[in-house]
Structure 1
């Protein structure tokens, strides 16, 4: 059986969508209401939830009609390049993103418990060290592309350290994931091979010798992940920690340097980095359209009939910006947003993600307080694709900082080195769980 054709579907790819997705969402909302038919790749269709209330309803559903298991949908896909592109983000894996019920609760418990063991002050020191080292690479030039020279390397280097690899290994991870994102099939295949080699080598090294790191915590959690489940936990950790985090950082910076509410010089704006981050999560969330669900039976959802095994995506970008006809100054919701999702599948690492993004941005602006965009923000180039709202480049200029000039600089700042072993925080043996590990409670 093949998937049915949805008429009048809006395209979530191509120049029109890439350049102005909000205009596409507005047309879909006018034509279809809360749920609209869309095409996410040539020949691959979905139902897109574009109303805030409808998004909350599907994200917080307790109805057996909704499932995260993509396999019934997956087996009905045609064998086309469009299907292959969609499966990169939607193919089933045994992890927290694509499971339901007891399996989901088990996987999620591992993620929550292990992320809770990351000490915020150590994470902050790690981000400072990584950010300063990147800033040193361009501070003396007076210009930079903050996507490629700052926002994208940060999550990969930080997660490389959190997963228990030395910072010197981060170059291999960065190269692999950058290749995977390329449109060139040869580069993509090379990147995928190198990425999985990195994951396998990491897992094998931690099974041989545990450390004070996320990988070891995943392996030793009482939930008893199999080796393959531990690999899948690492894959989803890196996937969720790379592109969305990089995009959140660059999207936030681009708003700050183009909006006088934050910035005439970054030291005297009326609003804070946190304000800019929250505004980016609301108005321009990095994960623009995702939160996949697959129906197990026919459902009448906000006036749209959705048949079994059809794909439903949540448009966080459209739901967050749905017109309310209420002036902002009269709203009591504080500008509510779904940037980290909602319900049982809400991002379990939103606090570390916020800390990483804020620390990195504040480190950058503390040294380079006169950042200016080289082009108007409306002329910035965005990466194509239906799922992530991500800048292709973020060219800026600023007053150069030299290594030999007086005052604090990224060359002179002191912070704890993330590569220096800390006192162990993970229990030495299972007998220590009762006193040391969060899952003992």
Structure 2
């Protein structure tokens, strides 16, 4: 009986021995992550990786080991102030991965009683959004966005639709007035797209602070006001950081989930021809989850985990995508929503938004198809996301419905280095103008 040959590192991977870390930020990794995961798994349930130049971590690639970690808050903590490499100055302050790993006073980066307090406030406030309200919001936004490009007969379904829709929906749910909403959209897009990220972060922080101040004096029927009124009694700093977390989670992961599911529907006839949108969504969550590698944790003490020695304060991430590939579980047993006490609190709203957005698009544009060969599509480099760069599509041009009457918009443009100034219209204010006409 012969043993399986040791897999060689994928093309572009400098890891030519067990002591080398596998880089997860290269275009080669983005193009074919499954080859990298197969190489990593040959060496065990965990692998040494590099998230960005100089940022080292241990990546869990096995389903059972991932569940062990995610469901063990006693041994693995979320508070990033435990991160030893950061505390000892080995992480550059301008590292591109720091904004998604550094500590923030929100429910994602907290443990124990503090996590429970913040998590309950977030979960119970967002639970007040009804499915009917959410569906109506998606319908309004979808009609608006499609009205901007349907007469052209072509669109980039990522940047013109999947990227924009969650931001519009969440701005509406969180009660953002026009000029604050424009800057929230600029900030969120800039942070995740890497376009003038430092400026974008400043704009977002200021806009969210203004939203908190506004709702303190003029509460409304929206998630921001409900979060503020929750018995957890969040202060202004806590409010701002929960809002940034929720708005961010409603932007990048959701846009990738919508786009990745559309990608499957446009490239696999079995799903598209039979109208199996929900099945395509589940397949995407298994094989191309929007956050493919994340769930940062830190060992509370020196330990051995899955055959690997870990020191207190080591950065340990879970490859949700790689772990899924090692499971033979039921259709909803994937780890795309994570697991344990920090599992995604809004998976049902996320499913509803994604399904409604896709079904609306196919109802409006029934002959939509991919406009380029599938193999020409590219995936954005980065250690955390499974994210397309573009999704060009074509369809039969049609005039917008009479009731749409779209106003001039910049929805197909990327954010510019200058944030929308007060009183100057942007994407969100264009949508609000369209609603009122």
What TM-score bracket applies, with the shorter chain setting the length?
0.7 to 0.9
Q: Distance in 2 between matches of 1:271 and 1:261?
A: 9
Counterpart of 1:177 in structure 2 is 188
Counterpart of 1:190 in structure 2 is 199
Aligned counterpart for 1:352 among listed residues 335, 338, 349: 349
Gaps of 5+ in 2: 1-17, 407-430
State the 1:21 CA deviation. 0.8
User: Secondary structure of the equivalent of 1:261?
Assistant: helix
Alignment CA distance shift 1:350-1:309 (3 Å): same
State the 1:18 CA deviation. 1.3
Counterpart of 1:437 in structure 2 is none
Counterpart of 1:233 in structure 2 is 242
Counterpart of 2:35 in structure 1 is 23
Counterpart of 1:158 in structure 2 is 169
Query: Is the counterpart of residue 72 in structure 1 residue 76 in structure 2?
Result: no
Report the TM-score, using the length of structure 1 for normalisation.
Answer: 0.84
Question: Alignment RMSD, CA only?
Answer: 2.1
State the 1:177 CA deviation. 2.4
Gaps of 5+ in 1: 1-5, 264-268, 325-330, 413-417, 421-441
Equivalent residues in 2 for 1:112-261, closer than 5 Å: 112-166=123-177, 170-183=181-194, 187-261=196-270
Aligned counterpart for 1:334 among listed residues 323, 331, 336: 331
Alignment CA distance shift 1:333-1:404 (3 Å): closer
Mean CA deviation greater in 100-109 or 372-381: 372-381
Alignment CA distance shift 1:126-1:419 (3 Å): farther
8 Å CA contact 1:156, 1:170 repeated in 2: no
Q: Distance in 2 between matches of 1:160 and 1:65?
A: 37
Q: Distance in 1 between matches of 2:330 and 2:400?
A: 46
Q: Distance in 2 between matches of 1:171 and 1:8?
A: 44
Q: Distance in 1 between matches of 2:234 and 2:274?
A: 48
Aligned counterpart for 1:309 among listed residues 299, 309, 313: 313
8 Å CA contact 1:245, 1:357 repeated in 2: yes
Q: Distance in 2 between matches of 1:110 and 1:66?
A: 23
Q: CA offsets per residue over residues 346-369 of structure 1, 9 Å max, x none?
A: 100111111111111110011111
The count of residues paired between Structure 1 and Structure 2 equals: 390
Q: Distance in 1 between matches of 2:296 and 2:365?
A: 39
Q: CA offsets per residue over residues 199-246 of structure 1, 9 Å max, x none?
A: 011011001111111111111100111111111110110111110000
Alignment CA distance shift 1:404-1:215 (3 Å): closer
Alignment CA distance shift 1:26-1:77 (3 Å): farther
User: Secondary structure of the equivalent of 1:381?
Assistant: coil
Aligned counterpart for 2:271 among listed residues 253, 262, 270: 262
Query: Is the counterpart of residue 365 in structure 1 residue 362 in structure 2?
Result: yes
Q: CA offsets per residue over residues 314-373 of structure 1, 9 Å max, x none?
A: 100101112x6xxxxxx6623631111111111001111111111111100111111111
Mean CA deviation greater in 134-143 or 295-304: 295-304
User: Secondary structure of the equivalent of 1:85?
Assistant: coil
8 Å CA contact 1:206, 1:216 repeated in 2: yes
Mean CA deviation greater in 235-244 or 168-177: 168-177
Q: Distance in 2 between matches of 1:360 and 1:311?
A: 36
Report the TM-score, using the length of structure 2 for normalisation.
Answer: 0.85
Q: Distance in 2 between matches of 1:138 and 1:271?
A: 23
Alignment CA distance shift 1:167-1:396 (3 Å): farther
